[in-house]
Structure 1
Amino acid sequence: MQFNLSRALRPALNLAALSLGGLLAACGGVVYLSPPGPEPEAVTTTSAAMPAAPLPTASAGPSEPPPIPVMQVPGAQADLMADTIARIARGMPGRPEVFFVGLGGDARQDVFLTESTLAHDLLTQRFAAQDRAALLVNNPATTARLPIADLVNLRDVVVAMGARMNREEDVLVLFMTSHGDPRHNLALDFPPLKIEDLNPAALKAILDEAGIQWRVIIVSACYSGGYVPVLADERTLIVTAAARDRTSFGCSDDAVLTFFGRAYLDHAMRAGHGFVSAHEAAQMEIRNWENAEGYIPSNPQISVGRLMPEKLKAIEAAARSARPAGPTQ
């Protein structure tokens, strides 16, 4: 079946708002597309821990415009998207750089805004990618400042980044957080708007159309291991919060981060772990939390493409050289 990203997919009104509760996925076991070699990016003295910082919240700051009513959101997307794409800088030839896209999919719980914003803040700081980043979020608090997370906006941002990066050198890091279902759909919900969900085949079509060659894909959702078989290749790293047949935990209405977001981002990545070693650390921590609550393990997954370890080393080294030097004694 051919995947169609026609702008006819732009959300139409749907007055029957859905209700969804509960659990966020995590994914089980470790899948290497090549035999695991030495950990390319474990914590070292050259990969300093990120400083602790207050977690982002859904509350607008004093200088931010008031939110746009949800019924008016579709009409505001053209200007928001034009501004978002205009701020994406071109890559610098000769230096492997990170381009970042964050996506928070479900407007009914602030945890997805918080988690996608944390991923944006941590990873753009770490990889000096503040001017090569975009954040798409479904949340009533961000309608005046962030584009919504739908298929059209995701496609347009990724295609723009593909046009501005040096495709042989640069890496797209895509972090997505939302609810997931057993058919491996990632929820893109913003009631009363009707937005089509994202599935692994649709994501692959977007990335292929954009010509993205080097990919780091992190999916924080139930059943997110279903993204691995569709997207895995020798130039792709995939980390998921759960196995393809498991739920993950921590997306209650009062949660700040999911189990996966707290363990992988706020603990492991903030402490200086790389993408691969952060999975190992997070998997252990999540299993401890699940055992304490009596939950069935979510089994976070990882797939490391054959060529990815060297590329991960390269982007870490380039990011260290791009960061401002610290004060001298």
Structure 2
Amino acid sequence: MNWSANTFTAAASPLSVSSVHAVEGAHKLGVVSFGLFGDQGVFKSEATGAARVVAGRFETGAIEVQYNSKKGGSATTEGLTRSLQDVASRLDAENDVLFVILTSHGSPDGLAIKAGRLEQTLTPSRLAEMLAKTGVRHKVVIISACYSGVFIPRLATPDVLVITAADADHPSFGCEDKAKWTYFGDAFFNVALRRAESLMDAFAGARALVRKRELREHFEPSYPLMAGGANVHQLLVARP
């Protein structure tokens, strides 16, 4: 492992999971996890924590986590392009899975990127272009942000599974600076995925947990979504 101020990379089974045997029939996952909005620490925490949970549940290869801070960072559109290409280059393009996690503030235009003074917007069309250029057939894209459902029409296909914290018309919640997770990130990665046998089960569990929390706190529903991925589910074999 190689840690720096805003980057973690690992070339093979990361996060000290060597004691866990490979699952028979599992396809390798390459993971790219980005915390895009540097002014609040929750996105750094979520990007890092989500990658750790995925590595603990699936057979993983290359993992790259990047996040921004108030001083700057390389979790930008350019940085994401490089990371996707780098991780994809170490995968079998037909048989492995590129697993992408993005966490930030969102709007109907896309995802906010804030690295020091740099501000960008990652649009659905730009992300679709980045993913297509990786050359990897099967992908999972999980987006934890308000209005993140705007990405589904551009990304979701039978070969691309997309999970979003909200639909295209609603915010999601939990972006407090000192928090470790957003509401959706906590429900999906920190709780449901740790014990679920599949991403479908994890999503169903997380959606129920999020709705229960929103009702308790009198928030309007965020309506998390899952779309596409008919050809992806069978490739994702979780560790027991």
TM range (shorter): 0.7 to 0.9
- Deviation of 1:272 after TM superposition, in Å, equals 3.2
SS of the residue corresponding to residue 219 of structure 1 reads strand
- Deviation of 1:308 after TM superposition, in Å, equals 2.3
Normalized against structure 1, the TM-score is what? 0.64
Letter in 2 for 1:275: L
SS of the residue corresponding to residue 296 of structure 1 reads coil
Match of 1:186 among 105, 111, 128: 111
For 1:259 and 1:242, locate their aligned partners in 2 and report how far apart those are by CA, in whole Å. 11
Match of 1:139 among 47, 69, 73: 69
1:2-28 Cα offsets, whole Å, 9 max, x none, are xxxxxxxxxxxxxxxxxxxxxxxxxxx
For 2:49 and 2:130, locate their aligned partners in 1 and report how far apart those are by CA, in whole Å. 24
1:247-290 Cα offsets, whole Å, 9 max, x none, are 01111223221110111111101123421111111111111111
Match of 1:235 among 123, 137, 159: 159
Structure number with bigger Rg: 1
* Contact 2:165-2:225 at 8 Å conserved across structures: yes
The yes-or-no answer on 1:118 pairing with 2:44 is: no
Kindly report which structure 2 residues correspond to 1:142-291, keeping only aligned pairs within 5 A, or say none: 148-183=74-109, 185-192=110-117, 194-291=118-215
* Contact 1:222-1:242 at 8 Å conserved across structures: yes
* Contact 2:26-2:59 at 8 Å conserved across structures: no
Match for residue 232 of structure 2? Answer: 308
Match for residue 222 of structure 2? Answer: 298
1:157-195 Cα offsets, whole Å, 9 max, x none, are 111222221111000110110000122x11110222x14
- Deviation of 1:95 after TM superposition, in Å, equals 6.2
Kindly report which structure 2 residues correspond to 1:6-155, keeping only aligned pairs within 5 A, or say none: 84=9, 88=11, 96-129=27-60, 131-139=61-69, 148-155=74-81
SS of the residue corresponding to residue 107 of structure 2 reads coil
SS of the residue corresponding to residue 111 of structure 2 reads coil
May I ask how many residue pairs the two structures share in their alignment? 227
Letter in 2 for 1:151: T
Letter in 2 for 1:206: M
* Contact 1:237-1:305 at 8 Å conserved across structures: yes
* Contact 2:159-2:231 at 8 Å conserved across structures: yes
Q: Which has the higher contact order (CA 8 A, sep 6+)?
A: 1
Higher fraction of strand: 2
For 1:95 and 1:127, locate their aligned partners in 2 and report how far apart those are by CA, in whole Å. 8
Letter in 1 for 2:125: A
* Contact 2:199-2:233 at 8 Å conserved across structures: no
CA separation of 1:95/1:311 partners in 2, compared to 1, >3 Å: closer, same or farther?
A: closer
Q: Which 5+ residue runs of structure 2 have no aligned equivalent?
A: 13-24
For 2:64 and 2:233, locate their aligned partners in 1 and report how far apart those are by CA, in whole Å. 25
For 2:227 and 2:198, locate their aligned partners in 1 and report how far apart those are by CA, in whole Å. 14
For 1:309 and 1:120, locate their aligned partners in 2 and report how far apart those are by CA, in whole Å. 19
* Contact 1:182-1:223 at 8 Å conserved across structures: yes
For 2:178 and 2:62, locate their aligned partners in 1 and report how far apart those are by CA, in whole Å. 32
Q: CA RMSD in A?
A: 2.4
* Contact 1:95-1:169 at 8 Å conserved across structures: no
* Contact 1:120-1:135 at 8 Å conserved across structures: yes
Normalized against structure 2, the TM-score is what? 0.86
- Deviation of 1:140 after TM superposition, in Å, equals 5.0
For 2:45 and 2:174, locate their aligned partners in 1 and report how far apart those are by CA, in whole Å. 13
